[in-house]
Structures are given as C-alpha cells and as structure tokens.
Amino acid sequence: MRFFFRIVFVPLCVVFILSAALRAQDWTAGNRLMIHAGAGLPLGSFGQTYNVASDFDAAISQLQSGISLSTAPSERTEIGNATLGFNVGLTDLYKITPNISLLGTLEVSYNPFNASDYISQYNSLFRDPAFLQRLGLMPSISGVNVDVNLAIPARAYLNTALLLGGRYDIPLNSALSLYASAQAGLMYGIYPEYTANVNATVTVNATSSVPISGKQTSEQSQTIRAMNTVSFAYKFGVGALVNDRINIGIAYFAAQPQYGPASVTISTKTTSMVTVGTMTTTTPPVNSNMTRDISTRINVPVGLLQLTVGYLIGQ
C-alpha cells in the first residue's frame, strides 16, 4: 500500500496543486504529446498466485502415466503470479475536431513476480510427510529426515506496447473535460528468466550395535532463459483532462502472449557422508549439468488496471 500511495496519490496531489495555478488553454485542434506514468495493478490470471501443490500433483500424475513433461501438454494456460508495478509511456494526441482525437501510444509496464509466496508454498510442501512419501522419499521411516529449501532471485515481467486508437472528450467547463478512449495494437512481452536454487539434505540415523548415520546434501540450480513474444493487445480508458494539460486516467490493458518452447539448464552438486561408529567417510562432490528443451508453450494472460497521471506538451 505504501508503494501504491507513493506512485499514485502523491502525484495526484501535485497535479491538483499545479492545475490550480494553470490557466485553461483553448485546445480545439492540432497535435500534443503526453508524458504519463502510474501504477499497474494485475487483474485476473495475471495477478493470481500459483498453487504449487496443484502443479506438482499434475507433474507427478503425468510421470506416473509415462508422459514426458517435455512434450505434454502441447499448450498450457498459466497464471502470472504478478504483483503491483508501474507503467510509463508517451502518447501522441491529434485533435481532428474539438471532441475527437486520434491516439498513438508507446508504453512500458513493469510487474514483479510474486516469488515470496511461491517460495513459502514450496518449502511448506516439502515439509509435508504425505507429499514426500508420494515422491518416494519415505520420511515416515524411523531415522530418516528430509530438509528441502527453495530460493528464487527477484525477477519481473517487462511488457512494451504500441497502440493506436481514438478518444472522445466531453467538456464540462473551460477548465475540465471528461474522456473515453479505445486502442489496439501489439505487445512485446518478456517472460522473466526463471532461476530456482534448491538445497536438499537427507539424513539417516540407524540404531544397531554399531551406530550408523548418513547425510547427503544436494545443491541444484534450474534456469529457464527469458522468453519473448509479440501478441495482440488492447486498452480501454476513461479519465479527466484539467486545463488542457493535466491528464488523469484509469484504463484496462489486456493481451494474450504465448511463450515457448524453452531451454532448461539444470546444474547439480551432490555430496555424501557416511559415519560407522567413529569412522566417517566423505565422497568427493559429484557435479552434473544437463540442458533439455521443453516444447510446452506457456499462455500468460496479461490484465492490468492502469492508474496514470500525464502532462500534455505542445501549443
């Protein structure tokens, strides 16, 4: 909420103060350039958080059915797991009548990935004995302890859109008018590079005449390179224009980008240690690297509620 307050409400206060000091200027025809910025709130699937348990259940079911995860399903609709971000852009407005304008917009939106929620779900899942048993780790056996921890570096969605359309203004008085706009065009989307660092430790303690214990530590890094695509996008907005200079708007932006196929690199380092009585044996670290292609294409529906403040430049 503090972030939202800073990028929306503080600029709005500044806008109203400035607008009070400006005189209305009669703009009935010609061209003006608008610089605008504001908040981008993810809506629908784009802002929905992952259900990590469901993802694993689906993957386990596929493996048990003998289906390769690299080839099925051929298409998959994903949720975005995106959080509140911001957008900046430039819009060229050309008035062909006092009420009707043509629009051309170039804008960029930035929305962080909700990594903290994903990590929390993942780590909780791998502390669930029933789930570990499904994976064949069998933590229910006396003396076996499994500890798994996931870390994901910060990452974000970065989308750029080029849109064309029109706008209709309704003057209320010499200083204020309301408007509605509609645009369509293309979005260039970058699916953030995904890196997952997993540390897993399996400890076994056996009770017998001679104490026996074992410990295996595995460090794994999985990386899916950033993917990009171009898709159709559209935007609808409403707002107010103050003194023909200050633009305050709210808009809905949507696109249906499809990403993939992807290349995944998995690096693993494993160390084992066994103790029998008072004698401990440690095996040298075993390193492995594997790269595989995943043919699955990922659909990430983008939906954003944009709250923006802009200033118009020109005669």
Report pLDDT digits (tens) over 86-131: 999 999 999 999 999 999 999 999 999 999 998 999 888 888 878 8
Expressed as residue numbers, the domain containing 78 is: 2-313
Q: Is the predicted pLDDT of residue 57 greater than 80, yes or no?
A: no
Written as one letter, the residue type at 232 is F
Q: How many other β-carbons are positioned within 10 Å of the β-carbon of residue 169?
A: 22
Confirm if 310 and 35 have CB atoms less than 8 A apart. yes
List, in order, residues 6 or more apart from 26 with CB less than 8 Å away.
244
- pLDDT-above-90 percentage for the chain: 42
Question: In which band, very low, low, confident or very high, does the pLDDT at 68 lie, cut at 50, 70 and 90?
Answer: low
Top mean-pLDDT range of 241-250, 260-269, 272-281? 241-250
- Of 223, 90, 243, the closest CA to residue 173 belongs to 243
Which pLDDT score, from 0 to 100, does residue 146 have?
A: 77
Q: Work out how many domains the chain is built from and give that number.
A: 1
Among the residue ranges 31-45, 145-159, 277-291, 300-314, the one predicted with the least confidence is 277-291
